[in-house]
Amino acid sequence: MKRKRYTCLEICALLIVSIFAPATKVFAEPMAKTTDDFVAEEQAKSSVIEEVDELAKEEQEDAEEASVEESEKDIDGVHAILIKSYNPGFSDPYVGEYFELIKLSKSSILLAGLSVLYETSTGSEYTVYEFSEGHEMVGESLLMRLASSREVTDAGDAMSVADATYTRNMSQSGGRIKLKYDDEVIDSLCWGLKETGCYEAFSSKKPTTLVREIDEEEIGDFVHRTDYILSFDADVPGLKYNEPMEELAEPKCREIEFSEILTYYENASTEQFIELYNHGEETADLGGCFIKYKNNNYALTGSVEAHGFAIFYPTNAWHMTLTKNPTSFNRLDIIDTDGEIVDELMYYSGQKRGLSLAKLGYKSDGSEKWEQTYNPTPGIDNIYQQFKTCPIGKALNLDTGNCVNETPIVATLAACPEGKYRNPLTGRCKSYTATTASTQLKPCTDGYERNPETNRCRKIRVNNGTDYPVATGVYEDKKEFVSVWAIATVIVAGLGYIVFQYKDELKLKFARQ
């Protein structure tokens, strides 16, 4: 049951009555008061005092609750942030564009969800700055400067002249700044627009700053001021950034692995696919996992049953294509929700048209066994096929791996003529070799024999000595005979040369004689 609340005046009246009422009664009836009367009066006085104490205690508790509520409101009080000032920038004297925010609360305020928007005179709207998770307003004011302003470029370090910078400049002639929290506009400043509540446009001939008049009791309107002096202390910043604590996501794809991939398509890129396999005992949710390829991440979706497959066609799932046949190699990674690489696949140069690269178990050393197969099997167990399947009417050439026209059946060919036979490799008739033909030659006539080197008949030469007499003689070495005649010839030639040279002298000598 709620008790009646008393004002301070009512509490004071109760105290006065409890103190002076007994005395008044004594003067009115001095001879009638007994001991019981005194006891009753003391009890009444004590009851009043207890009630007064309890009422005071309740008032104190109410005040403390209001203080706590006000404090909590300050901590989350994004509505306590207002636009303090705006200057569009001027050239003479030079002032770079900036605006300020002010915090009416004494507590710091988290700014996630707060953004600054600019609306042009034609109604177009742009985001000037958006505060992200971790941004906190810790100072009384927060200064934002245009990044291209001279103050920022000359400083080198933007944080030495402002709490933050923005890149979208605003107009002197007209526009509106909006301070927006989620979908609610909590403050705005309008100038140069023909509507109620807008302030006069800025003039380059008379540089001013629109400044909001704020004191301890009242939040006033904006005023064009020529004497406003901007104050900023880099050692006491108004904005603080706290690196958000990343929550470690629960791994989902630890049991997922690559099992097959086709990159070198036959007709169109839509034939490319990536097959994943879940070797775990439970269904795996792929949401939050992705495939990394050439420094880009491609999100995985759906789920994979235990010992089941998931197929992704890149052109449909991610609007991209895989390199058909890389010059060296390409790599793909499966990234889990916590950023861990759970499997990788590298495919090298040498991919063939229409073949997939499939995992076919493990080698004796425990490493994975991957082979190119002519039988791509997206979504089912992999099958190794070394050669392509040829269409009807063609046969596989095992040397080249290509399909060629089938050779006519030999049984349908006519018999080869006499002296020839069927070549089993070409199916053509071929003459017998010389060795075979020699057995079919006619015998040589009398007095002739077969020459084993030429296979021709030759005359038989026989010399048994009966047709010639035997005579004795001296054996002369033919070589010695030739040598003697050679020496004699040289001597004769030499004498002839001498006679020829001295013929004139010889003639004179014989003439004198």
The domain ranges of the chain are 8-72, 78-241, 256-373, 419-462
> What whole-number distance in Å separates Cα of residue 78 and Cα of residue 253?
40
> What is the DSSP code string of 192-241?
S-SSTTPBPPPBTTB--EEEEEE-SS-EEEEEEESS------TTS-SEEE
Nearest to 200 by CA among 171, 219, 176, 173: 173
Q: Are strands 256-262 and 290-293 parallel, antiparallel or unpaired?
A: unpaired
Q: Which of 174-188, 337-351, 406-420 has the lowest mean pLDDT?
A: 406-420
Q: What is the mean pLDDT of residues 209-222?
A: 90
**Alpha-carbon distances, residue 142 vs 21, 101, 136, 232 (angstroms):** 63, 5, 10, 9
- Give pLDDT tens digits for 349-390: 999 999 999 999 999 999 999 999 999 999 999 999 998 888
Mean of pLDDT values over 92-97: 92
What is residue 26's predicted lDDT score, i.e. its pLDDT?
45
Is the Cβ–Cβ distance between 89 and 95 less than 8 Å?
yes
Query: What pLDDT score does 146 carry?
Result: 95
Look at residue 497 in the predicted model and tell me its pLDDT. 81
In this prediction, residue 475 carries a pLDDT of 54
> Which residues are 178's β-sheet partners?
117, 188
- Rounded to two decimals, what is the model's pTM? 0.40
Q: What is the distance between the alpha carbons of residues 262 and 358, in angstroms, rounded to a whole number?
A: 9
The answer, yes or no, to whether residue 75 has pLDDT greater than 50, is: no
Percent of the chain with pLDDT over 90: 52
* Residue 135 pLDDT > 50: yes
> Is the predicted pLDDT of residue 143 greater than 60, yes or no?
yes
Q: Are 337 and 250 in contact (CB under 8 A)?
A: yes
Helix (H) or strand (E) holding 45: helix 35-75
> For residues 427 and 407, is the Cβ–Cβ distance under 8 A?
yes
Q: How far apart (Å, rounded) are the C-alpha atoms in residues 130 and 245?
A: 20
CATH (one of 2.60.40, 2.20.25, 2.60.120, 3.30.70) for 256-373: 2.60.40
Instruction: Identify how many contiguous H helices and E strands the chain contains and give both numbers.
Output: 7, 32
pLDDT band at 331 (very low <50, low <70, confident <90, very high): very high
Roughly what angle, to the nearest 10 degrees, separates helices 35-75 and 8-28? 170
- Please state, in angstroms and as integers, the Cα–Cα distance from residue 227 to each residue in 117, 209, 211, 218, following that order: 27, 8, 10, 22
The amino acid that residue 60 corresponds to is Q
Contacts of 117-122 with C-beta under 8 Å, sequence gap 24+, read 117/177, 117/178, 117/180, 118/168, 118/170, 118/175, 118/176, 118/177, 118/178, 119/175, 119/176, 119/177, 119/178, 120/171, 120/174, 120/175, 121/171, 121/173, 121/174, 121/175, 121/192, 121/193
Q: Output the pLDDT for position 454.
A: 77
Surface-to-core class of residue 78, CB atoms within 10 Å of its CB (0-12 exposed, 13-18 middle, 19+ buried): buried
Question: Is residue 110 over pLDDT 60?
Answer: yes
Structure confidence at residue 1 (pLDDT): 43
Whether the per-residue pLDDT at 325 is higher than 90: the answer is yes
C-alpha dist (Å) from residue 242 to 134, 246, 277, 415: 5, 12, 41, 96
Residues with Cβ within 8 Å of 351's Cβ and at least 6 positions away in sequence, in order, are 263, 264, 324, 325, 326, 357, 372
Q: Which of 174-183, 365-374, 375-384, 427-436 has the lowest mean pLDDT?
A: 427-436
Confidence of residue 413 (pLDDT cuts 50, 70, 90): confident
pLDDT given at position 223? 95
Query: What mean pLDDT do residues 280-298 have?
Result: 95
- Cα 500 to Cα 498: distance, rounded to the nearest angstrom: 5
pLDDT at residue number 445? 84
Task: Provide mean pLDDT across the span 244-261.
Answer: 87
| 24: helix, strand or coil | helix
Q: Which CATH superfamily is domain 78-241 in?
A: Lamin Tail domain (2.60.40.1260)
Decide if 338 contacts 251 (C-beta within 8 A): yes
Instruction: Report how far residue 21's alpha carbon sits from residue 29's, in angstroms, rounded to the nearest whole number.
Output: 12
pLDDT tens-digit series, residues 294-304? 989 999 999 99
Condensed to tens digits (0 to 9), the pLDDT of residues 151-170 reads: 999 988 888 999 999 999 99
Asked whether the predicted pLDDT for residue 36 surpasses 80, the reply is no
Higher pLDDT: 403 or 265? It is: 265
Coil, strand or helix: which one is 109? strand
pLDDT band (50, 70, 90) for residue 2: very low
